[in-house]
Amino acid sequence: MRTRVKICGITREEDAQAAVRYGSDAIGLVFYPSSPRYVAAAPAARIAAALPPFVSSVGLFVDATPGEVEAILAQVHLDILQFHGSETAEECRRYGMPYMKAVRVRHDTNLLQYAAQYHDARALLLDAYLPGMAGGTGIVFDWGLIPEQFPLPIVLAGGLNPDNVADAIRQVHPYAVDVSGGVEQAKGIKDAAKVAAFMQGVQNAAL
C-alpha cells in the first residue's frame, strides 16, 4: 500500500493547490495561535473548500478549549482533527469526529500505552519531543523507539524532508508521513519545488 502524505501548516490556497498537484492526500491547517503557521478560520475555510474530492482537510489543535474547536468546526470543513497537545482521549472524542493524537516521542515514551489510551484514534501521529515546543520543531526523533508491531496506524512526523523521507518510510513503514518545515521556504509558506521533491522521496521509498 502506498504511504499516505499530509502536508501540514498550509496558510495559502496556492500552497494547498501545490500539495494537491503533487499528490498529497491531506493538508493540515494549524489552529494554534502561537504557531507561525497559524491560520484564521476565514482563510482556512477557503482553503478547505477548494480541495478536490478525496483530499482530506486536517485541523490541528493544541489544548484548545471546546468552544474554540467548535467555533472552527462551525466555519471550516474538516475531515479529521489532530490533537497536538495534552488532550485526554475523552477530550479528543467529544466532537464525534475522526481524530489523530500526536505523541511527542522521547526515550522513555511508552507508545503502546498511548495506543491503548487512544485506541479509538484513527492514528497516532509521532513527532519529536522538544521541551517548550508543541510541534513543528523540524527535529527528527529516534525512529528505533517505535515498536515494530503497533496496534494503530502510525503517522510519522518530525523533521521529515525530501532527503530523509524515503529512509524514514523504509525503516518505520508508517501508514502516512507528515511534513511541515521540510517543504517550506519560510514559516507557513510552502516551497512547491520542495513539495515535489518530498513526494518524489515518498515514491522512491517503494523502489
Residues that bind ligand LGQLAAA5 (CB under 6 A): 8-9, 28, 30, 32, 35-37, 60, 62, 84, 125, 127, 134-138, 157-160, 178-182
Our answer to whether residue 8 is catalytic in this structure is: yes
CA distance 110 to 146: 9
Helices of type H across 6-122: 13-21, 41-49, 66-75, 89-93, 111-117
Which residue number, 155 or 207, has a Cβ lying nearer to ligand LGQLAAA5?
A: 155
- Please report how many Cα atoms fall inside a 13 Å half-sphere around the Cα of residue 94, on the Cβ side: 13
Report the nearest approach of ligand LGQLAAA5 to the CB of residue 174 (Å). Answer: 12
Q: How many residues in the chain?
A: 207
Q: What is the CA radius of gyration of the chain?
A: 16
Catalytic residue among 92, 127, 142, 191: 127
Q: CA 58 → CA 52, 61, 132, 147, distances in Å?
A: 14, 10, 24, 26
Taking the complex as a whole, the smallest distance from the CB of residue 105 to ligand LGQLAAA5 amounts, in Å, to 12
Residue 120 C-beta: closest distance to ligand LGQLAAA5, Å: 20
Q: Are 45 and 75 in contact (CB under 8 A)?
A: yes
Residue 92 bears catalytic tag:
no
Residue reference for cell 501548516:
9
- Torsion, Cα 100 121 23 126, to 10 degrees, reads 50
> Distance between CA 122 and CA 128 in Å, rounded?
20
Nearer to ligand LGQLAAA5 by Cβ, of 91 and 178: the residue is 178
CB of 169 to ligand LGQLAAA5, least distance (A): 15
Catalytic hit among 8, 15, 92, 178? 8
Smallest separation, CB 101 to ligand LGQLAAA5 (Å): 12
Active site residues: 8, 127
